[in-house]
Amino acid sequence: MNEINIISSDKRYEALNEIFLENGYSSRLCLPDDVQSPNILILPIKSALDDEDFLKIFRSIKESTLVFCGQGAPLERFSKGNLISYSNNEGFLDKNAYITAECMLGILINKLEKSLSHSSIAIIGYGRIGKHLCRLLKFLGAKVTVFARREESRALAVQNGASALEICELPKASYDAILNTVPERIISKSESDKIPLSTQIYDLASLPGGFEDEERPIRALALPGKMMPISAGRAIFDFVIEYISNERS
């Protein structure tokens, strides 16, 4: 089982293709209308593919094809193959979250005009990405405050060495940067208007993002594919190989 087709949406899939080739697999990048009945089909985690694209893709695969995808259930009406969603693998999701957090640190290091050890950073949300951001920023000496809706999330953040407040407290203090990881509009425009213009705001969450005022935050989407495509490609490779190995055992 080594015929692999990859539908690319960013540089991580180019890197993934190279990793497969380096490991002896027959792998190729292709467009939706150029899928050639592979044993393994890899779709983007998130993409702009539409129904017409999916019809082209799935008319060319076998029922035995393993289809790795980010959308899962919505593709069942198109697919004859076996759909394996990235979102069902905690190991992959955690790796991707860590890479995202590391990318965000790179942005802060480039954009803040001071050391992270002299910076005050607010993190909205304490899920996978929020936890990795908190840990990495604390390691580099930043003063970190986590804003989370759930009391248990705030308590966990405090246990891990950060300060923690309810989200309604966000506009009441000043930070060098605010990093949102919650994919819901939980910060109203009136609240974001109270945040000093000198504060850099980055929204890492999927659209629509966490801010009602869409113009205020800087969108920081799909960072792994843009900034660390080799590591992001390796994470997908590890997930695919682990799945295949488990299937064969």
Distance CA 167, CA 156 (A): 15
Give pLDDT tens digits for 107-129: 999 999 999 999 999 999 999 99
Q: Is the pLDDT of residue 1 over 70?
A: no
Domain ranges of the chain: 3-88+229-248, 93-216
93-216: CATH topology is Rossmann fold (3.40.50)
Section 184-206 average pLDDT: 95
Among 67, 93, 103, CA closest to 224: 103
**3-88+229-248 classified as CATH 1.20.900.10:** no
Section 222-231 average pLDDT: 96
Whether 3-88+229-248 and 93-216 share one fold: the answer is: yes
Check residue 49 and give its pLDDT.
Answer: 85
What does DSSP assign to residue 36?
-
Section 85-94 average pLDDT: 92
Q: Is the pLDDT of residue 73 over 60?
A: no
Q: How confident is the model at residue 12 (pLDDT cuts 50, 70, 90)?
A: very high
Q: Rg for the chain (alpha carbons), in Å? A: 20
Give pLDDT tens digits for 51-69: 899 889 888 888 889 999 9
